[in-house]
Amino acid sequence: MISIVNKDDIVKLTGFSESQAKKLIREAKARLVSEGFSWYNNKRVGRVPLKTVEDILGFELSHKHDIITNVQEDTALEKGVSNGSN
């Protein structure tokens, strides 16, 4: 299933500012136009495929629980490491 995102979705999923989200949308649109998708050569189009945004960022985003899916599996908590306050 193709997921389409707008600037508000990007802000929610990444925590980036609204201006950073707008820049990501513009870059994604430019990339899509260069790949031959002329539909995105329109300033009124404000939604782009999530996959394109993920390719730009270099990591996957998930709508499920609004978390990033490529988080390291071996965190300190999972290994039982504490900061000494226990």
Q: Residue 61's pLDDT is what?
A: 83
Q: What pTM was computed for the model?
A: 0.69
Token code pair at residue 32:
């899509």
Domain ranges of the chain: 4-66
Three state DSSP letters for the chain: CCCEECHHHHHHHHCCCHHHHHHHHHHHHHHHHHCCCHHHCCCCCCCEEHHHHHHHHCCCECCHHHCECCCCCCCCCCCCCCCCCC
Whole-number percent of the chain with pLDDT over 70: 70
pLDDT above 80: residue 69: no
Using CA atoms, how far apart are residues 64 and 78, in angstroms rounded to an integer?
21
Cα 18 to Cα 83: distance, rounded to the nearest angstrom: 35
Instruction: Say if residue 86's pLDDT is above 90.
Output: no
Separation of alpha carbons 59 and 69, rounded Å: 8
pLDDT of 81: 53
Position 28 confidence tier, pLDDT thresholds 50, 70, 90: very high
